[in-house]
Structure 1
Amino acid sequence: MLKIDLKMNEIVKVLNKEETLLREGDTLPFRETLCKLSIEHGNSPLIIPDLTKSELTRSMGPFGYLSWY
């Protein structure tokens, strides 16, 4: 669960399975996240089959902002 104010995303609740990708309380710059792309895209679904090849996301890493872990 996130709190988004269009400047920062704050991780409120997270469920990591095999490895820790996010922690509760983490904050991420909104402009560098997949959330920003989704909101800018509007009401229709944003489908990106391969995050590593899309011009929109390839510089973000596989999880948007989280770098290449």
Structure 2
Amino acid sequence: MTIVMARCPYRDQPVSTGIEIDAAAFAAMPESLVLARCPLCGLEHVWWKSETWLEPAGHASPVETPSD
């Protein structure tokens, strides 16, 4: 299984969206919006599918705890 990754627009760092999907299902998805809460900044972000990528589960980049 793989994790859908995106980039936080505020911190400019890769983050896990928390969405697990296999590569074939991800490839078959139409270009669509993905909405997920960002573990870096705590805000909800919207990404286009084309702005996301897959990483193997367990290999997703670690994230920092949001600091307010």
**Could you say which TM-score interval applies, normalised by the shorter chain?**
under 0.3
Which structure has the higher relative contact order (CA within 8 Å, separation 6+)? 2
Q: Please give the TM-score of this superposition, normalised by the length of structure 2.
A: 0.28
**Which structure's CA Rg is the greater one?**
1
Q: Please give the TM-score of this superposition, normalised by the length of structure 1.
A: 0.27
